[in-house]
Structure 1
Amino acid sequence: MNNFLYRSLEQQLSEEIEQGRWQPGDRLPSIRTLVQEQGLSKTTVMHALNRLEARGLIESRPKAGFFVRPQYKPMPVNAPSSNIVSSPAPVPVSVNAVTQELMCRSAAFDISPDAGTREALPPGLLQLNRTVARELRRQKGLHQYYDEPAGSQQLRDILARRYKRQGCQVDACDLTVTTGCQQALFFALMCLCQRGDLVAVESPGFYGVLQLLEGLGLKAIEIPSDPVQGMDLDVLAQAAEKWPIKACVVTPSFATPTGALMPLENRKQLLVLAEQYDFHIVEDDIYRELAFDHPMPPLQALDRQGRVILCGSISKTLSRDLRVGWVISERWREEIQRLKLVTSLATSRYVQQGVASFIEDGGYDRHLRRYIPNLQAQRDELITTIQYEWPMPCASSVPQGGLTLWLELPQHIDSMQVYARAREQDILITPGALFTAADHFRNCIRISYTHPWNTDRKAALNVLGGILAEINEL
Structure 2
Amino acid sequence: MGYRYQQLERELIEQISSGRIPVGSKLPSIRLQCQQTGFSKATVIHAYERLEAAGFVEVRRKSGYFVSAQQDAEPGLAAIEPTLPQVMTEPHLIDMSDVMRDIMTHNAAFDIAPQMDKRSQRPVGITDLNRCLARALRQQAGSAHQYYDEPAGLLSLRQQIAQRYQRLGCHVNEADVLITAGCQHGLSLALQSCCKPGDIVAVESPGFYGVLQLLESMGLQVLEIPVTAHEGLSIEALSNALGKWEIAACVVTPAFATPLGSVMPVNERKKLIQLAEQFGFTIVEDDIYADLSFGARQPPLKQLDQSQHVILCGSYSKSLSRELRLGWVIASHGQAALMGLKMVNILALSRFTQQGLVEYLNEGMYEKHLRKLKPLLKAQRDQLIELLFQFWQSLGEIRISQPQGGLALWVELEERFNVAACYLDARRQGIVITPGNLFTAQDQFKHCLRISFAHPWNDQRKEAIKRLGAILLKKGLS
Counterpart contact for 1:241–1:277, Cα < 8 Å? no
CA deviations on 1:217-239 (whole Å, 9 max, x unpaired) are 00000000112210111110010
Q: Which moved more, 1:368-377 or 1:327-336?
A: 327-336
In the other structure, the counterpart of 1:389 is 391
Q: Which moved more, 1:176-185 or 1:87-96?
A: 87-96
Aligned counterparts, 1:328-343, within 5 A:
328-343=330-345
Q: Which runs of 5+ in 1 are unaligned?
A: 7-40, 48-53, 57-75
Tell me how many residue pairs correspond in the alignment.
413
2:448 pairs, out of 444, 447, 452, with 444
Classify the secondary structure of the residue corresponding to 2:322. coil
Classify the secondary structure of the residue corresponding to 1:315. coil
Classify the secondary structure of the residue corresponding to 2:311. strand
CA deviations on 1:315-353 (whole Å, 9 max, x unpaired) are 100000110100001212111100111111111111111
Counterpart contact for 1:282–1:308, Cα < 8 Å? yes
Q: For 2:382 and 2:326, locate their aligned partners in 1 and report how far apart those are by CA, in whole Å.
A: 30
1:237 pairs, out of 224, 236, 239, with 239
Aligned counterparts, 1:296-315, within 5 A:
296-315=298-317
Counterpart contact for 2:124–2:373, Cα < 8 Å? no
Displacement of 1:385? 1.0
Displacement of 1:103? 2.4
Displacement of 1:296? 1.6
Q: Which moved more, 1:279-288 or 1:112-121?
A: 112-121
Displacement of 1:77? 6.4
Counterpart contact for 1:185–1:284, Cα < 8 Å? yes
2:253 pairs, out of 247, 251, 254, with 251
Displacement of 1:88? 2.9
Q: For 1:167 and 1:55, locate their aligned partners in 2 and report how far apart those are by CA, in whole Å.
A: 24
In the other structure, the counterpart of 2:417 is 413
Q: For 1:192 and 1:229, locate their aligned partners in 2 and report how far apart those are by CA, in whole Å.
A: 26
Q: For 1:255 and 1:142, locate their aligned partners in 2 and report how far apart those are by CA, in whole Å.
A: 40
2:365 pairs, out of 363, 366, 375, with 363
Sequence identity (%) = 48
Q: For 1:107 and 1:418, locate their aligned partners in 2 and report how far apart those are by CA, in whole Å.
A: 16
Amino acid at match of 2:381: R
Q: For 1:124 and 1:315, locate their aligned partners in 2 and report how far apart those are by CA, in whole Å.
A: 12
* 2:29 is equivalent to residue 3 of structure 1: yes
Amino acid at match of 2:185: Q
In the other structure, the counterpart of 2:406 is 402
Distance change (3 Å), C-alpha of 1:77 and 1:369: closer
Distance change (3 Å), C-alpha of 1:307 and 1:2: closer
Q: For 2:118 and 2:341, locate their aligned partners in 1 and report how far apart those are by CA, in whole Å.
A: 37
Aligned counterparts, 1:79-228, within 5 A:
79-85=81-87, 87-115=88-116, 117-140=118-141, 141-228=143-230
Displacement of 1:118? 1.6
Q: For 1:123 and 1:467, locate their aligned partners in 2 and report how far apart those are by CA, in whole Å.
A: 33
Amino acid at match of 2:210: G
* 2:376 is equivalent to residue 374 of structure 1: yes
Provide the aligned C-alpha RMSD in A.
2.2
In the other structure, the counterpart of 1:457 is 461
In the other structure, the counterpart of 1:468 is 472
CA deviations on 1:127-183 (whole Å, 9 max, x unpaired) are 100110110111132111100010011110111000000011111011010000000
Classify the secondary structure of the residue corresponding to 1:402. coil
Classify the secondary structure of the residue corresponding to 2:454. coil
Q: For 1:168 and 1:296, locate their aligned partners in 2 and report how far apart those are by CA, in whole Å.
A: 12
CA deviations on 1:20-39 (whole Å, 9 max, x unpaired) are xxxxxxxxxxxxxxxxxxxx
In the other structure, the counterpart of 1:26 is none
Counterpart contact for 1:82–1:227, Cα < 8 Å? no
Distance change (3 Å), C-alpha of 1:216 and 1:294: same
Amino acid at match of 1:155: L
In the other structure, the counterpart of 1:318 is 320
Distance change (3 Å), C-alpha of 1:444 and 1:207: same
Counterpart contact for 1:135–1:353, Cα < 8 Å? yes
Q: Which runs of 5+ in 2 are unaligned?
A: 1-26, 33-39, 47-59, 63-77
Counterpart contact for 2:419–2:447, Cα < 8 Å? yes
Q: For 1:416 and 1:55, locate their aligned partners in 2 and report how far apart those are by CA, in whole Å.
A: 43
Amino acid at match of 2:136: E
Displacement of 1:82? 2.3
Counterpart contact for 1:81–1:227, Cα < 8 Å? no
Classify the secondary structure of the residue corresponding to 1:108. coil
Q: For 1:216 and 1:192, locate their aligned partners in 2 and report how far apart those are by CA, in whole Å.
A: 12
In the other structure, the counterpart of 2:55 is none
Displacement of 1:439? 0.7
Counterpart contact for 1:151–1:347, Cα < 8 Å? yes
Amino acid at match of 2:471: I
Displacement of 1:55? 7.2
Displacement of 1:457? 0.9
Distance change (3 Å), C-alpha of 1:237 and 1:370: same
In the other structure, the counterpart of 1:36 is none
Classify the secondary structure of the residue corresponding to 1:129. helix
Counterpart contact for 1:84–1:440, Cα < 8 Å? no
Displacement of 1:104? 2.4
